[in-house]
Structure 1
Amino acid sequence: MNTIFKTNDDLKKNDFFIFLPKTYKIAPINISDICKFEDLKEITSQKQVLLKNTLNFSGNVLLWGAKGMGKSTLVKSVIKYINIRYKKNYKLIEILNNNIGDLTEIVYELSKLNTKFIIFIDDISFKNNEDNFMYFKSLIEGSLLSHISNVKYYVTSNLRHLSHLGADSKFNDIEEKEASQNLVSLSDRFESWIGFYDSNQEQYLNMVKHYSKKASIEYSKELEKLAIQWSLEKGNFSGRSSYQFIKKFKKKTKS
């Protein structure tokens, strides 16, 4: 009998979960409002790579790069898309950064179940000398637990190598080279890297057009002007900004 999920029915009836360290349980989460896989624009190649990898359950994935370009949303939406369209039964479990130390017990318990799990860690970063850095590196590749076939890791980060030396680090030339190699050694253990890059104004407005159509909002020069003003306030042309703008505009017009 499984003990890590809050109830046995939870695993059967839900696709999305989060680990709760205080109770040491994995609990279901309803994310019905997540942006659909089909509605994520300007990241076509990234979507194709993650879709193929997930369908084949073929390896651990690092999604890295620009903020607000859909890394986390893509992970969640691809699970929902695959489970509906391809009749899969994948389960996504989010582990927060400060709970990485609990992964040994979590993965061991998951290995007993006849279900495929993706452990999702969002916006991760380490310092070179951090205990969790070495621990997680071993879990990805090296530990006996890294050979468990029904668990994969999907990790997002703004940093390509998930880590940095830290401003207070003091090394001589040899030590700095070794420390840098150690940082790279973690990201190298992922089978697939998917990069996300800043979008430009044209791409941003294409996303605004798409989301406005989905929200039954007429796209006009005035809406475009407001969207550009919004992006300037946000300081970027990201997919997140375009999505947030339309949500706010729709809410404002309803009130």
Structure 2
Amino acid sequence: MTDQGDPLARIADALERLSPPPVATDWMAYPAYVWNGRSARGVNVLEAPALSLLQGIDKQKALVVANVDRLSAGHAAHDMLLWGSRGMGKSALIRGSILAAQQMRPGSIALVQIATDAMEGLSDLFAELGRQNRNFLTYIDDLGFADSDSIGPRHLRSWLEGGVEARPANVRLAVTANRRAIVPRNMSEQDDPINPRDAVDDKLALADRFGLSIGFHACDQDNYLAIIRGYLEQMGLPWEESEALEWAKRRGARSGRTAWQFVTEIAGRAGHTL
């Protein structure tokens, strides 16, 4: 019990009452969770597109779906790094693969999304998940580290492989990033007269810890149109290829995200909800 005569003690007690300890999470009840560094919030419905609608990434899709299926079955599975062009379905593929595995084996696996500012709590999360009779894919979206951050990448390497607090057997980690190395690489690294290769190797070592490192690249015109066609034919909505191409031209990019934005436009005009 704190000394109530001490003003600092009274302030500390008041803060504890304002911030009660996190409520225990039922790790068997939900298809997905969001981890904030101290506790997890269950997500009632995991929103994900049908895998058949993810066009132009067939090879990447086959690798991710197979790996998630193994994890769901309790078999050996890889940690995954999905890197490359923005808007090409990296996050959607992870969610869709989990949903497909849940439909095949209900209750066998859950997705746990980790906020990028909640990584310091990963050790606590892994310890908690390791006690559960369920498999988990933990997921960090759009991960990146600042040049000055030397602690985050080292901790992540330790969790992935070889550390005393590495993630348990029923947990694997999936990360999406814009670049394969995750951390920035500058030309100054090449100018360092003291073994410049070490700095580059240290940064690439993080990517090397992932059993699967899968690249995603900007889609060509045919794949862009195929993505749109898949969604709009499923909805039964008419559309014009010329308008879809003009839509991408105005945005300066062809990607799955741009295609979905066009689908949203067509659906909205027709009075549909998504």
TM-score, normalised on structure 2? 0.82
| Rounded Cα–Cα distance in structure 2 between residues aligned with 1:149 and 1:4 | 25
Do structure 1's residue 202 and structure 2's residue 215 form an aligned pair? no
Q: How far apart are residue 233 of structure 1 and its match?
A: 2.2
Do structure 1's residue 14 and structure 2's residue 30 form an aligned pair? yes
CA contact (8 A) 1:34 1:76 kept: yes
Cα displacement string for residues 184-233 of structure 1 (whole angstroms, at most 9, x for unaligned residues): 100001111111111111211111111110121124xxx21221121112
| Rounded Cα–Cα distance in structure 1 between residues aligned with 2:118 and 2:190 | 28
Which residue, out of 60, 65, 85, partners 1:66?
Answer: 85
| Rounded Cα–Cα distance in structure 2 between residues aligned with 1:104 and 1:91 | 18
Which residue, out of 111, 117, 139, partners 1:98?
Answer: 117
1:88 and 1:113, CA in 2 relative to 1: closer, same or farther beyond 3 A? Answer: closer
Aligned to 1:183: 203
Aligned to 1:25: 39
Which residue, out of 150, 167, 173, partners 2:193?
Answer: 173
Do structure 1's residue 246 and structure 2's residue 249 form an aligned pair? no
1:207 and 1:83, CA in 2 relative to 1: closer, same or farther beyond 3 A? Answer: same
Q: How far apart are residue 165 of structure 1 and its match?
A: 3.6
Aligned to 2:3: none
Q: How far apart are residue 29 of structure 1 and its match?
A: 2.0
Which residue, out of 148, 172, 175, partners 1:155?
Answer: 175
| Rounded Cα–Cα distance in structure 1 between residues aligned with 2:25 and 2:127 | 18
Do structure 1's residue 116 and structure 2's residue 135 form an aligned pair? yes
CA contact (8 A) 1:41 1:207 kept: yes
| Rounded Cα–Cα distance in structure 1 between residues aligned with 2:48 and 2:163 | 34
Q: How far apart are residue 7 of structure 1 and its match?
A: 4.4
| Rounded Cα–Cα distance in structure 2 between residues aligned with 1:209 and 1:137 | 41
**Corresponding residue SS for 1:190:** coil
1:17 and 1:56, CA in 2 relative to 1: closer, same or farther beyond 3 A? Answer: same
Farther-moved stretch of structure 1 (167-176 vs 101-110)? 167-176
Aligned to 2:103: 84
CA contact (8 A) 1:123 1:158 kept: yes
5+ unaligned residues in a row in structure 1: which ranges? none
RMSD, aligned α-carbons: 2.2
| Rounded Cα–Cα distance in structure 1 between residues aligned with 2:145 and 2:36 | 22
Aligned to 2:17: none
| Rounded Cα–Cα distance in structure 2 between residues aligned with 1:98 and 1:121 | 10
| Rounded Cα–Cα distance in structure 2 between residues aligned with 1:147 and 1:106 | 9
Which residue, out of 231, 245, 252, partners 1:211?
Answer: 231
Runs of 4+ in 1 over 6 A off after TM superposition: 167-170
| Rounded Cα–Cα distance in structure 1 between residues aligned with 2:126 and 2:227 | 38
Q: How far apart are residue 175 of structure 1 and its match?
A: 4.6
| Rounded Cα–Cα distance in structure 2 between residues aligned with 1:158 and 1:70 | 12
CA contact (8 A) 2:36 2:115 kept: no
- Matched residue count: 246
| Rounded Cα–Cα distance in structure 1 between residues aligned with 2:24 and 2:122 | 17
| Rounded Cα–Cα distance in structure 2 between residues aligned with 1:82 and 1:46 | 17
5+ unaligned residues in a row in structure 2: which ranges? 1-20, 72-76
1:227 and 1:90, CA in 2 relative to 1: closer, same or farther beyond 3 A? Answer: same
Greater gyration radius:
2
- Letter in structure 2 aligned against 1:194: I
1:50 and 1:108, CA in 2 relative to 1: closer, same or farther beyond 3 A? Answer: same
CA contact (8 A) 1:82 1:88 kept: no
TM-score, normalised on structure 1? 0.88
Q: How far apart are residue 14 of structure 1 and its match?
A: 1.2
**Corresponding residue SS for 2:63:** helix
